[in-house]
Amino acid sequence: MRARSHGPVDAGAPPDGGAEALWVGEAGPPLRVARATRPARAWVSRLAWAVLVAGPAAVFFIATRLTPDPSGLGTHTQLGLAPCGFYAVTGLPCPGCGLTTCFAHMVRGELAAAASANPFGVGLFVVAALMIPVGLVGLARGLPVLETLDRLRLGPVLIALSVFALLSWGVRLALL
């Protein structure tokens, strides 16, 4: 009697990517191992891509409905949000002050006004805008989200954006 192979052998495994059947020993029924396969994860990836597309798209849509505050700060209060607590206490803008105003200018193509409101916001807007086509490709192809984003080498981009956020905040404070 020949020994059975140790690979997936159960042709009756569910086609939807459920548990695979693996032979553990020379005899006996296959052991079902709950290991997700690509088809089972495809809907999760597509959902994640949909969120990565819908998030920036919703932010951009909302930004088109806002009137940029001439002071460069406070546009977010049109959404019913409270004024910045850091600004209220210290009189100084926080790193996020002016982001909503920046985005409201960017969706109108007003780059200089956007950079004046928050220079970091311009870079953040560009990254968010680039996520839409990347997300649509990932959604259409059912690509694994984390692996795809890892291949895009976004880590250095996010680190650069973080450093830029702190530097632009420092410059804004120095210019007050």
Say if residue 103's pLDDT is above 90.
yes
Structure tokens at 108: 């109108």
pLDDT in tens, 123-168: 999 999 999 999 999 998 888 888 888 888 888 888 988 998 999 8
Supply the pLDDT for residue 60: 98
Within 10 A of 19 (CB to CB), how many other CB atoms are there? 17
Residue 113's pLDDT is 96
Residue 82, SS3 per DSSP: coil
Helix (H, G, I), strand (E, B) or coil at 90: helix
Radius of gyration of the chain (CA): 25
Domain boundary assignment for the chain: 1-35, 38-174
| Residue 24 DSSP symbol | -
How confident is the model over 65-76, as a mean pLDDT?
93
Q: Confidence class of residue 107 from pLDDT cuts 50, 70 and 90?
A: very high
Phi, psi of 22 (to 5 degrees): -125, 140
Report pLDDT digits (tens) over 5-31: 444 544 444 444 444 444 455 555 554
CA distance 124 to 168: 12
DSSP conformational letter for 88:
H
**Burial zone of 101 (CB within 10 Å; 0-12 exposed, 13-18 middle, 19+ buried):** buried
